[in-house]
Amino acid sequence: MSKLSQFSRSLAIVKKDMLIFYLKGPVVIMGLLFPFFLFGAFLIGRDLSHAYLFVALIAMTAFFTSTAVGPTIIPWEARSKTFERLISSPISITTVLFGDMQASFYFGLIITSFISLTAIFLGIALNLLIFIPVVILALLTFSAMTILMSSYPPTDVPADVMMLSSLVKFTLLFISGIFVPLEKLPWYARAVSAISPLTYMVDALRYSVSMHGYFPLWLDLIAMLLFSLIFFFFGVVIHKRVLEKRFT
């Protein structure tokens, strides 16, 4: 079977995910309401530049929206007994996961695109040649991360995965230079922040609003690309390994 045919079938999975999961309660809460309130809490009582606020807003929106859908899909499907039907159709596990990843990506893309319009109201001179590729690459990275998040444990309880993924997401959020710029962090905190893909998005976004960041822009882009490949690859490998456990 050709790769093109598998890609076309992955789009059927995207459509299914959009129709079923985009409006699920946990997705709306974690993907839409939560980043809004978190940003509000970050904003209140601080005298920050519009550019700084815009970077934080876009990073939080992209991060939370693109990681809201993915982790819950497989546990949800396993619980509602639709997963076996899905994987017994003529598609590979990789195709199923690629479809789920795309569903996360498009959810993030729609919301982040809409929120990006705030740049106009805030009067920010945005370099779109940097901003658009950075946002797309970051959304891909975070969407791929959800494939890894949903791979283990092989549970059919969506809340279990939500809890674990929230733990990971909040940890990454606080070490990624959104609340405190990287250059103001102590050296050990900077070392920890280097393992977060969100760090590179935030840093690259700063280039799009002010033409300077902590790491070189090319490094930010390569790091995100590598993270997305690693997340998806290991996500698929683990999903394949634990597949049997979902039926026993």
Partner 1 sequence: MNIEIIKAEHLTKYYGDFLAVNDISFSVHKGEIFGFLGPNGAGKTTTIRMLTGILNPNSGRIEVFGMDMKKHKIEIRERTGIVPEMANPYIDLSAMRNLRLMGRLYGMKGREIEERSVELLKLFNLYEKKDTKVRGFSKGMKQRLSLAMAMLPDPELLFLDEPTSGLDVMSARLIKKIIREEQKKGKTIFMNTHNMQDANELCNRVAIINHGKLIAIDTPEKIKEIGAKSNVIEFSLSPFKFKEGIVDGRVEILGDKVKVYTAKVDETIKKIVNYAERENLKIVSLNVEKPSLEDVFMALVGEKNE
Give the residues lining the site for partner 1 (CB under 8 A): 1, 5, 8-9, 11-13, 15-16, 19-20, 80-82, 84-92, 243-244, 247-248
| CA distances for 109 relative to 32, 138, 139, 152, 241, angstroms | 13, 10, 7, 26, 30
- Please tell me whether residue 230 adopts helix, strand or coil conformation: helix
* 81 versus 212: smaller Cβ distance to partner 1: 81
Least distance CB 19 / partner 1 (angstroms): 6
Exposed (0-12), middle (13-18) or buried (19+): which is 85, by Cβ within 10 Å?
Answer: exposed
* 87 versus 189: smaller Cβ distance to partner 1: 87
Least distance CB 144 / partner 1 (angstroms): 22
* 7 versus 37: smaller Cβ distance to partner 1: 7
* 35 versus 99: smaller Cβ distance to partner 1: 99
Least distance CB 26 / partner 1 (angstroms): 14
Least distance CB 12 / partner 1 (angstroms): 3
* 11 versus 167: smaller Cβ distance to partner 1: 11
What is d(CA 16, CA 77) in angstroms, rounded to the nearest whole number?
Answer: 11
Q: For residue 212, what are its two tokens?
A: 């300077």
SS (H, E, C) 143-187: HHHHHHHCCCCCCCCHHHHHHHHHHHHHHHHHCCCCCCCHHHCCH
Least distance CB 90 / partner 1 (angstroms): 4
